[in-house]
Structure 1
Amino acid sequence: MRIVDFHCDVLSKLLEDESLSFEPGMSGKLDVTHGRLRGQKALLQTFAVYISPSRPDYRSLNPVLESIDLFYEKVLKQSGLRHIRSTADLEACMNQGLTGALLSLEGAGGLQGKLSALRLMHRLGVRAIGFTWNDANWAADGAMEPRGGGLTKQGAAFVKACNELGIIIDVSHLSERAFWDVAALSEKPIIASHSNAKALCDHPRNLSDLQIQAIFESGGVVGVTFVPMFLRADGHAKIEDVLNHMEHFCSLGGEEHVMIGSDFDGIDHYVEGLTHPGELAGLREAMIGRFSKTLTEKIWSGNAVAFLKRNLPAE
């Protein structure tokens, strides 16, 4: 079983610290490294472009473009990695033992509502986009925005444009109202790349059962994340808590729709025994001990692969 992980924040760390490297043998400040991905023979890792609100250019396109440049210059230049733009790229990774690198955008503030900027993202290889981080921007309110607003007129236009371009819409950070706006407007499946179940942990970033079922009904997938405070209220999470959320998703009809979205490099404290990709073997063993082999394989990679085969362009 070769894992698919639908979210990490390596690019954000590379953007903030020029001294960091993604090269083999490097670790330290990075959770996800080339060596760890290749060491576990990972099938696919999604790299999110996340711009910290602490930056003075937070709402600018510049750091977005810088992050994408880092993706090309520091990530893709490593041996054994291939940029995933199409199903053909995915098939090559599966058949040749390569690790796929999917590029996503976590927060569209820097696009400033311009469809031309969205088209540019697509040309540069972005294949998934979340309109907000936790705050509000021109497109929508995020999950932590107190007013809890929905999509703006520009945000609605972006939903339609993403559908037309073939960019997957990620609802993980949206407010609940914006979530339902997207669910109603999108003619394509939607995903939550890194969110857990609110029924088990009542955090604003988690999804209600109705939201989860809406994603499944759209044909989308949900990535169980390793953020401790999204796993249990006290934040002291163990691997068992990760399994509990997986099991809850499956109880809602998600056996074909659950995947993994770790959020490595986006967290500063960890699930016990799950601090970087090199420790994923422990999670896999726990899954095999609790779930069937078939279900374990689906969550580990099968569901994500099947989703991408249905929703990426052929070439």
Structure 2
Amino acid sequence: MTSEISRRRLMQFAGGGMVAAAAAGTGVTSDAAAAAPAVPIVVDGCSPAAPTADYLALMRKGGVDCWSVSMLPTLLQMSQLLEFVARNSKHVEIAKSAADIRRIKREGRLSLTIGWQEADLFAAKGESDWWSKPPKTTMRLFYELGVRVVGLIYNLTNAFAGGCLDPATGLSRAGRAIVAEMQSLGMLVDVGGHMGERSSLDVIAMAERPVVCTHSNVAALNPNPRNTSDRVIEGIARTGGLFGVSAIEPFMSWSGQDVGKRDRPKKRADIGRYVDELDYLKRLVGVDHIGIGGDFTTGATSVIRPEESFAFPPDMTYLQDPIQYASGFEDISRLPAVRAEMVRRGWTVAEIDKVMGENWMRVYEASLGA
């Protein structure tokens, strides 16, 4: 989550060295590794953080194996990401399937999956043909480059779907065509969160593969317009998908009831409040449909000024300089603290492994291919 102006700056990808591969020099052959029992994968399900050495060090500290890079897409940013991976191929690789993610972990490297938070680039002016039947888009090009998770809309309604600020607006005819093509090709459709309720339910109704919400919070726990209703969460679960829980603080502490009364939460959401979301989801849809989707913006600065922003109005957030996260879970390196709080509350090891990444892997296998 960022302001519509700052978000573009936020995701300017920076170069930099990478953390050395953890498993280098183990002497284990690739055949032996392939035959070994699968080790649980930890997935950072949505993060627009800059891919730098510093951020990868945080992921290593947090125990993360796979990071879903999340961006507002431009051709330049796609090119910069590919250049970054090429420069650091000894330590990181773009994963295009679940098998890739597991293989890259065995090799001691980090895997990246590419996610977009809006789909406008699929229908770029001069690069698509909406007169033909079916429409001709640029989707296949970006699929081959590794794009695997896409939300249609970022808060404000576009040609495809209604944003979270227009919750009664449903999928358009063009949006239905995009969703059908994504599902046919093997791209995960990202609903809830930035997408409004009616459009999210429309996607769920036509889904033939799992759909996900990569990063949002529970509206029943806090009625913020950026949060997702039980109806949508239950619908996501029915498709076999999962709900990724964001660590952004105001989504857990701020709503329209606070506008004009205060400019900061009286009590900041902390790691316990974050795990409250996991507990609620476990009761609502079961442990198989929960994931981590922290939406961390590490490595970039961003200021959100709700009084000046059309896309982030005062009922969605307070002034954030920089973006605020749950106390105790300020960045991905703190992920073990989430695990510890889950243990304290009685979650089993198997349940925690699912939430930490194996649910993402199940969904990736079902949608992207095993």
Asked if residue 262 in structure 1 is aligned to residue 283 in structure 2, the reply is no
| 1:117-266 matched pairs, under 5 angstroms | 117-145=138-166, 148-171=168-191, 172-233=193-254, 234=265, 236-265=268-297
Aligned equivalents of 2:86, 2:171: Cα separation in 1: 34
The residue aligned with 1:72 is 82
| Matched letter for residue 160 of structure 2 | A
The residue aligned with 1:36 is 58
Aligned equivalents of 2:70, 2:332: Cα separation in 1: 16
- The percent of aligned pairs where both chains have the same amino acid is 26
- Render the CA deviation track for 1:234-286: whole Å, top value 9, x for unaligned: 47210011110001111012211101000000871121122222222222211
SS in 1 for 2:111: strand
User: Do the aligned partners of 1:142 and 1:148 also contact (CA within 8 Å) in 2?
Assistant: no
What is the TM-score normalised by the length of structure 2?
0.72
Unaligned runs of 5+ in 1: 12-21, 27-32, 52-63
User: Do the aligned partners of 2:98 and 2:361 also contact (CA within 8 Å) in 1?
Assistant: no
Aligned equivalents of 1:77, 1:288: Cα separation in 2: 39
The residue aligned with 2:29 is none
Deviation at 1:307, TM superposition (A): 1.6
Aligned equivalents of 2:252, 2:86: Cα separation in 1: 32
SS in 2 for 1:120: helix
1:85 to 96, 115, 127: 96
- Render the CA deviation track for 1:181-207: whole Å, top value 9, x for unaligned: 111122111100001111101112212
SS in 2 for 1:296: helix
| Matched letter for residue 69 of structure 1 | S
The residue aligned with 2:303 is none
Aligned equivalents of 1:256, 1:192: Cα separation in 2: 14
User: Do the aligned partners of 1:232 and 1:241 also contact (CA within 8 Å) in 2?
Assistant: no
User: Do the aligned partners of 1:38 and 1:80 also contact (CA within 8 Å) in 2?
Assistant: no
Asked if residue 47 in structure 1 is aligned to residue 69 in structure 2, the reply is yes
SS in 2 for 1:193: strand
- Render the CA deviation track for 1:154-175: whole Å, top value 9, x for unaligned: 1110011001111110013211
Aligned equivalents of 1:8, 1:280: Cα separation in 2: 13
- Render the CA deviation track for 1:50-105: whole Å, top value 9, x for unaligned: 15xxxxxxxxxxxx111111211224633422211013312202433322100011
1:286 to 304, 326, 341: 341
Deviation at 1:37, TM superposition (A): 2.0
The residue aligned with 1:272 is 327
Aligned equivalents of 2:348, 2:66: Cα separation in 1: 23
CA root-mean-square deviation = 2.0
2:352 to 296, 303, 315: 296
Aligned equivalents of 2:65, 2:58: Cα separation in 1: 12
User: Do the aligned partners of 1:106 and 1:130 also contact (CA within 8 Å) in 2?
Assistant: yes
Deviation at 1:44, TM superposition (A): 0.7
Aligned equivalents of 1:307, 1:80: Cα separation in 2: 25
SS in 1 for 2:115: strand
The residue aligned with 1:57 is none
Aligned equivalents of 2:248, 2:336: Cα separation in 1: 18
SS in 2 for 1:301: helix
What is the TM-score normalised by the length of structure 1?
0.84
Deviation at 1:2, TM superposition (A): 5.0
- Render the CA deviation track for 1:117-145: whole Å, top value 9, x for unaligned: 22221121100110000011111111023
Aligned equivalents of 2:277, 2:228: Cα separation in 1: 11
The residue aligned with 2:42 is 3
Aligned equivalents of 2:87, 2:332: Cα separation in 1: 20
Aligned equivalents of 1:41, 1:273: Cα separation in 2: 16
Question: Could you say if the C-alpha distance between residues 144 and 88 of structure 1 is closer, same or farther in structure 2, counting changes exceeding 3 Å?
Answer: same
Unaligned runs of 5+ in 2: 1-39, 129-135, 255-264, 299-321
Question: Could you say if the C-alpha distance between residues 76 and 220 of structure 1 is closer, same or farther in structure 2, counting changes exceeding 3 Å?
Answer: farther
The residue aligned with 1:14 is none
Asked if residue 102 in structure 1 is aligned to residue 113 in structure 2, the reply is yes
User: Do the aligned partners of 2:85 and 2:93 also contact (CA within 8 Å) in 1?
Assistant: no
Question: Could you say if the C-alpha distance between residues 303 and 128 of structure 1 is closer, same or farther in structure 2, counting changes exceeding 3 Å?
Answer: same
SS in 2 for 1:46: strand
| Matched letter for residue 66 of structure 1 | L
The residue aligned with 2:26 is none
The residue aligned with 1:16 is none
Aligned equivalents of 1:132, 1:23: Cα separation in 2: 27
The residue aligned with 1:18 is none
